[in-house]
Amino acid sequence: MIDTLGPNLGELYDLLHARYPGVAFRLLNYGVGATNIVYGRERLANGYEYLGKQLPSLFSTQPDIVLVESFGYNPLPPEVGDINTHWLALSHIVKEIHDSLPDTKIIIGATIAPNAGVFGDGAPGVSFDLQAKREHVDRVKQYIESAIAFANGEHLPLADAYHASLDGGGNGKLTYINPGDHIHYSDAGRALFAQKIFDAIENNGMLY
């Protein structure tokens, strides 16, 4: 989900630039498609290749702020772990950032909610029947909600697009979901998540 926000997180950059016109922001997108939180943790201290490009470790960039998204759309396969493994991985990520970059601030991100009625429709290589859609979406929501609970329990700033994108029936609102694959963001979805990240930065005084 983070990968599809673009190389410089354009919507977030625009919000920051409008609010702080005299400040030069460098926004780095460390999202990697179709990977889970275990690989996310590996990329903290290790360089990696993605789409033919070699990228340095996250730690080597010395970021002022790190957004750790929920990884909810890529839940752990059973042979790797479960929701408890995911929680522990989140805690390890936060601890390792604090240990290696004690001045770096952390935001936990909760992406837009999925929609069980249409999940994956139109996406290449994805074919779910209605029951499979419901089961997968339930897992995605469980992982996102766990990340939200983690942020609240650890008193970490939270960029919560998840609750803002839910409809009255507990599904993701279609306006925020890409109509081509019914998984990733629409333009409105990207704008919503960018706004929630910006709000988390502002509300927690992270640039002061």
pTM above 0.85, yes or no: yes
Confidence band, pLDDT 50/70/90 cuts, at residue 99: very high
Q: Report pLDDT digits (tens) over 30-47.
A: 999 999 999 999 999 999
**Short-list 82, 78, 72, CA closest to 36:** 72
Q: What is the SS3 string spanning 71-137? A: CCCCCCCCCCCCHHHHHHHHHHHHHHHHHHCCCCEEEEEECCCCCCCCCCCCCCCCCCCHHHHHHHH
Residue type, 178: N
C-alpha to C-alpha distance for 103 and 97, rounded to whole angstroms: 9
C-alpha to C-alpha distance for 1 and 36, rounded to whole angstroms: 11
Residue 64 scores a pLDDT above 90: yes
Q: Report pLDDT digits (tens) over 118-165.
A: 999 999 999 999 999 999 999 999 999 999 999 999 999 999 999 999
The answer for residues whose C-beta is within 8 angstroms of residue 27's C-beta and 6 or more apart is 8, 9, 12, 13, 16
**Short-list 162, 2, 17, CA closest to 67:** 2
| Buried/exposed 54-67: b ≥16 CB within 10 Å, e otherwise | ebeebbeeebebbb
Rg, the chain, Cα only? 17
Q: Report pLDDT digits (tens) over 141-154.
A: 999 999 999 999 99
Write down the CATH number for the domain with range 3-203.
3.40.50.1110
CB 194 within 8 A of CB 29: no
Q: Report pLDDT digits (tens) over 173-188.
A: 999 999 999 999 999 9
pLDDT of residue 208: 81
Q: Give the distance from CA 111 to its chain's centroid.
A: 5
Q: What is the token pair recorded at 37? A: 């939180």
**Short-list 156, 133, 192, 147, CA closest to 40:** 147
C-alpha to C-alpha distance for 122 and 174, rounded to whole angstroms: 14
